[in-house]
């Protein structure tokens, strides 16, 4: 469905992406993982053409067999890619319903739009209760639901989510991920940027690890979960190797 080949993205004189390549198969939930500053959000913004007009500076991006790396963002949305940015970015002065309708701005099929509003309310019943309320008065979790619901209104084939669990409680995080899986089961492919690596690996079907603007590892979640480095650096698990290293360090400190 999506093919990213050797793209380089720059912020002024700083190269943020160093020729990264990856693919997403239709129907998958693909996680893009890494620490802060690894280039995850920049990757999504590059795909959506939300940076300078000349970015990516190098490489190609294809969606459903067509190059999109020089198209306008609106055209990319029309082709079937929706993006939920980090921090939700709802329109705070507009009502919940007005925010939802903003997601359908490229559409002219009124009947289909109404059907999709009901689908969004099916995913997020709380939004139906809050339909006439200003979005700025919603809780963080409700705003995240609204941002996802708004993105669904364009009927995407590929939904890209940037840190959907950011700032949410563990209970709301589980609820959001359950809804993401439900959306995927209804036929929407998912590209997920997420720092909660445990949750991302639990719900994804494939994952890429990024460091310093490069893809450094790609594998199935069950394989990455058993990797010693992933356990230690991403999952916060004390591995046998790290425990031995810590014990050696303690012995050295004790006898100084």
Q: What is the pLDDT of residues 204-222, one digit of tens each?
A: 999 999 999 999 999 999 9
How deeply is 76 buried, as exposed, middle or buried, from its count of CB atoms within 10 A (0-12, 13-18, 19+)? buried
Q: Which CATH class is domain 1-80+156-221?
A: alpha beta
Query: pTM of the prediction?
Result: 0.87
Q: How confident is the model at residue 248 (pLDDT cuts 50, 70, 90)?
A: low
Pairing of strands 29-33, 189-193: parallel
Average pLDDT (231-242) is 63
Average pLDDT (86-95) is 91
Residue range 55-74, pLDDT digits in tens? 899 999 999 999 999 999 99
Instruction: Give the pLDDT of residue 54.
Output: 83
What strand order describes the sheet that includes 81-84?
81-84, 158-162, 189-193, 29-33, 206-211, 214-219
State how far the Cα of 241 lies from the Cα of 108, in Å rounded to an integer.
Answer: 59
């Amino acid at each position: 469905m999506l093919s990213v080949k050797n793209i380089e993205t720059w912020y002024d004189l700083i190269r943020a992406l160093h020729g990264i390549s990856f693919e997403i198969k239709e129907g998958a939930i693909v996680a893009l993982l890494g620490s802060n500053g690894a280039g995850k959000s920049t990757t999504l913004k590059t795909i959506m053409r939300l940076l300078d007009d000349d970015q990516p500076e190098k490489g190609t991006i294809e969606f459903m067999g067509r190059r999109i790396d020089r198209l306008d963002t609106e055209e990319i949305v029309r082709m079937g890619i929706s993006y939920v940015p980090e921090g939700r970015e709802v329109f705070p002065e507009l009502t919940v319903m007005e925010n939802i309708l903003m997601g359908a701005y490229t559409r002219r099929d009124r009947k289909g739009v109404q059907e999709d509003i009901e689908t969004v309310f099916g995913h997020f019943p709380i939004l139906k209760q809050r339909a006439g309320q200003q979005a700025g008065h919603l809780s963080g979790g409700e705003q995240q639901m609204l941002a996802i619901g708004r993105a669904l209104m364009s009927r995407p084939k590929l939904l890209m989510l940037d840190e959907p669990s950011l700032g949410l409680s563990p209970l709301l995080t589980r609820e959001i991920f359950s809804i993401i899986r439900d959306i995927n089961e209804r036929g929407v492919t998912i590209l997920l940027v997420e720092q909660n690596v445990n949750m991302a690996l639990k719900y994804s079907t494939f994952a890429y690890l990024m460091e310093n603007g490069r893809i450094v590892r790609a594998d199935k979640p069950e394989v990455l979960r058993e990797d010693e480095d992933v356990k230690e650096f991403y999952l916060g698990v004390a591995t046998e190797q790290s425990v031995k290293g810590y014990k050696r360090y303690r012995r050295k400190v004790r006898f100084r």
